[in-house]
Amino acid sequence: MHNQKVKSKILFFVPLPPPVHGAALRNKSLIESKVLNSAFEISVIPFDFATSINDIGRFSILKLTKMVGRLYTVVHTMLRFGPQLVYFNFSVYGHALYRDFLFALIFKSFRTNVVFHLRTQGVKSQSTNSNFKRILFKTAFRNATVICLSDYLAKDVEDVYQPRPLVVNNGIEDVFPKYTLSSDRSIPIILFLSNLSRTKGILDLIGALEILKSESIPFEALIAGGEGDLLVKDIQAELKSKSLTPNVRVLGPIFGDEKFKLYCSTDIFVFPTYFEAFPGVVLEAMQFCLPVVSTFEGAIPEIVDDGVTGFLVQKQNVNDLAEKLKILLKVESLRKELGNNGRNKFVKKYRLNDFENKMVKVFNDILEN
């Protein structure tokens, strides 16, 4: 009888849904991954300090109480479970930075391998403006492994972490084969899908749609997403003030099968965000053959090839956003060409299985060294 190989133990200390946002969804997929669970013994401590999108980054007594409880859970789990590796999404802003620094010191005190997966940007700006934060980042990252989502985002930590961080692109499940694209529309439909937040560029999109309507460009648009610092009623009031109500519908949050059907029933995906790292919604749109109009933010220029899989504009440039939408609205063949190019790139680079296998390799390489 052969002895079964003992699996290495990995502790995940990460945010999970709810609230629903990109980092939480990617963490959920890793924890539930058959590939990772077959390779490692995984334990999870949910990083559940925020109760809603608006709550992220805000201080509260409830969060402080939760932190004390999590400190106990972390120490108890490290002693009981005894992981060889800790996987941690490290925050880089506000009170959360100091909180996560404390947790980082605790993990490192157990002399285990610590992997910081940075799912945002802002280390360079923070460390440039504050020598104290620069020292803090250097201390946290010393003798640890840092993973970034793209080559662009790797530059964000170059001043506080040596050698160069590992780069692992996100990946999502390829559900496209389960659905059928619907294209029998006389008027093209524009889709925005993300949390309803000003920093996602929703008001810029509305401004661009106003320009399109003033030029008598035929279009319909759908705005979908959970409420953030903008409520559904706020969006509806803005649409009404610009006489866009006949052209634009606000759907609220859409998940799962209904979300994927929404991608299938639209023609252009627009995401004029102000601040982003590696947005999963862009990968989803590319998966469903939608040309993407987005901004030069974070890793988006690495995901969206300008003029090949979609168009990129400077953030808050309403006129340029309207112009790029106008081009796609007028030329159906271009929409299909860019959308098919996006689908091909998604298949080559951003599928979930590739992401999971890369993470298994990263963990194994760390554990073997």
Domain ranges of the chain: 8-171+351-368, 176-349
Residue 60: what pLDDT? Answer: 67
Residue 1: what pLDDT? Answer: 47
Q: What is the mean pLDDT of residues 111-128?
A: 95
290 vs 270: CA distance, rounded Å:
10
Q: What is the mean pLDDT of residues 345-359?
A: 96
176-349 shares the fold of 8-171+351-368: yes
Lowest mean pLDDT among 52-61, 83-92, 259-268, 281-290: 52-61
Residue 59: what pLDDT? Answer: 59
The CA–CA distances, whole Å, from 136 to 24, 98, 105, 233, 339 equal 25, 9, 11, 42, 43
Residue 66: what pLDDT? Answer: 82
Lowest mean pLDDT among 9-23, 326-340, 348-362: 9-23
Confidence of residue 3 (pLDDT cuts 50, 70, 90): low
Which residue, among 261, 258, 270, 274, has the nearest Cα to 294 in the 3D structure? Answer: 270
Q: What is the mean pLDDT of residues 335-358?
A: 97
Structure tokens at 326: 């106008």
Q: What is the DSSP letter of 172?
A: B
CATH 1.10.10.10 matches 176-349 = no
Structure tokens at 271: 């995401």
CATH number of 8-171+351-368: 3.40.50.2000
Which residue has tokens 């090839």? 305
Residue 23: what pLDDT? Answer: 82
Is the CB of residue 287 less than 8 Å from the CB of residue 346?
yes
Q: In what order do the strands lie in the sheet with 189-193?
A: 248-252, 220-224, 189-193, 268-271, 292-295, 310-313
Which residue, among 281, 270, 262, 250, has the nearest Cα to 181 in the 3D structure? Answer: 262
The pLDDT of residue 245 is above 90: yes
HSE, side-chain direction, 13 A CA sphere, residue 344: 10
Residue 17: what pLDDT? Answer: 85
**pTM of this prediction exceeds 0.85:** yes
Lowest mean pLDDT among 3-7, 109-113, 139-143: 3-7
The pLDDT of residue 277 is above 50: yes
The pLDDT of residue 215 is above 60: yes
HSE, side-chain direction, 13 A CA sphere, residue 165: 29
Structure tokens at 88: 């941690």
Residue 369: what pLDDT? Answer: 83
**DSSP assignment string, 45-71:** EE----SSGGGTT---HHHHHHHHHHH
The pLDDT of residue 55 is above 70: no
**DSSP assignment string, 197-244:** -GGGTHHHHHHHHHHHHHTT---EEEEE--BSSS-HHHHHHHHHHTT-
